[in-house]
Amino acid sequence: MKVRIEKLDNYGRGLAHLSNKIVFVPNALPNEVVEVDIVSEKKKYIEGIVKKYYATATNRKNINCPYYNLCGGCSLEHLSFEDENTFKEEKVKAILKKYANENIENLPIKSKEMYHYRNKITFHIKDNKLGFYKDNTNSLVEIDNCLLANRKINSLIEPLKALVKINSLEEIMIRTSNDERFVLIKLTGKASRYESLIPLVDVLLINDKVITTNDKILTTISSKKYYLSAAAFFQINKDLTKDLYDVALEEVKNNSLEKALDLYCGTGTIGIYISKYLKEVIGIDKVKENISNANKNRELNNALNCKFLCAKVEDVIDNYKGIDLIIVDPPRAGLKGKVIETILKILPKELIYISCDVITLARDLKILKDSYDIKLVQPFNMFPRTYHVECACILKKKE
């Protein structure tokens, strides 16, 4: 079937209409005319792939990645970086309008490097081949290089391929420090021959067993240092995380705030980063390894005014009073009902909300804005070449 693409949807897919149904087409741009093969058809929409381009957009970009449309990692490689950033700005505006009834006209996105920004990659292994799975399949695409992974990770692909051939592995996770000096690798599966890897890494795990002397690597964000273990949460963009956290830092630095609650605190990164300007920071996260890292990071940075608790946020948040700042960096699902209800009972002077999903952010802002004015929404292109966008929001309690 032939369709004309009208616009991009929130996932960066081309959107068209045919016989009162919406048609979603990856790798298609507005004003392009394409022949589409149907992948699936539902009552209200059709999902398809491009079979042939009859007319291509003038802003279509040459594709640099040989695995594009195969591995499922990138979805915007056919857009220029400028167009990608514009798409994400417009996406944030449209979602805030639709789900939070907020008109925010000026939303310039912050971005840095288009490629080689990821400090963490997980490779899958099948039939002794290393790569990524195609979208929604168990079909593996073998790769030699990933444009999103930092250069240190890419330099390890060939030695890892050799390792895969002599072991029965299922998965390999690599994470590096932001400056790429230190490397942690976790092998999942059966590995008895791994000696060649030892000189190349600082930390090696096989399943949950630590093989090396150390079980953590050291990384940095600006002047702060952080220990980082295999299962701990850490922002994956090695270049832009500082800019994201600086939004919180500048807000705290310029206001009279004393006691902060850092919810879903991960390895304590944000709380420690801003701790110099607060009397007390209390971080809460349910992941034991995150809190273990956070407590070590507290000592490492001499951030003795920080305390970290391993618990579910919704189980303990109502124990806290006298809080004048709450920071939240929740999972994609956003804030749970009880958490947002309790925040509105605590009513801190300010809220800093960091979100990796604009729709759940907008849903939560719609509830919070009865009590708070939205002072800032700042998008960040933390995941270039994908449809994902991060936002940092600052909310001030209404007078």
Residue 105 is predicted with a pLDDT of: 83
Alpha-carbon gap, residue 298 to 225, rounded angstroms: 10
User: What confidence score (pLDDT) does residue 136 get?
Assistant: 75
Please state the rounded mean pLDDT for residues 369-392.
97
Per-residue pLDDT band for 357 (boundaries 50, 70, 90) equals: very high
Assigned CATH topology for domain 120-220: OB fold (Dihydrolipoamide Acetyltransferase, E2P) (2.40.50)
Query: pLDDT-derived band of residue 72, with 50, 70 and 90 as boundaries?
Result: confident
Above 90 in pLDDT, residue 144?
Answer: yes
Q: Residue range 122-135: average pLDDT?
A: 94
Q: Confidence band (pLDDT; 50, 70, 90) for 103?
A: very high
- Cα–Cα nearest to 106, from 88, 91, 89: 89
Where exactly are the structural domains of the chain? 2-60, 86-112+240-397, 120-220
- Extract the tokens encoding 82: 């400028």
Picking from 326, 322, 348, 323, the residue whose alpha carbon sits closest to that of residue 335 is: 326
Assess whether pLDDT exceeds 90 at residue 247: yes
Q: Does residue 135 surpass a pLDDT of 90? A: no
Tell me the C-alpha distance between 379 and 113, whole Å.
15
Fold match flag (2-60 vs 120-220)? yes
- pLDDT at position 373 is 97
pLDDT at 137 over 90: no
Residues 6+ apart with CB under 8 A from 61: 77, 78, 79, 80, 83
Between 136 and 189, residue with greater pLDDT = 189
Tell me what the pLDDT averaged over the chain comes to.
Answer: 96
Q: What is the pLDDT of residue 337?
A: 92
In this prediction, residues 226-237 reach a mean pLDDT of 96
| 175 vs 256: which has the higher pLDDT | 175
pLDDT of 350 > 80? The answer is yes
CATH number of 2-60: 2.40.50.140
* pLDDT tens track for 156-204: 999 999 999 999 999 999 999 999 999 999 999 999 999 999 999 999 9
3-state secondary structure of 46: strand
Residue 73 has pLDDT above 80, yes or no: yes
- The pLDDT-based confidence of 372 (bands split at 50, 70, 90) is very high
CATH superfamily to which 86-112+240-397 belongs: Vaccinia Virus protein VP39 (3.40.50.150)
Other beta carbons within 10 Å of 45: 13
Find the DSSP H helices in the chain.
81-100, 151-155, 157-165, 241-253, 269-274, 288-300, 313-316, 337-346, 358-368
Output the CA angle 145-150-151, nearest 5 degrees.
Answer: 70
The DSSP result for 245-289, as a single string, is: HHHHHHHHHTS---EEEEET-TTTHHHHHHGGG-SEEEEEES-HH
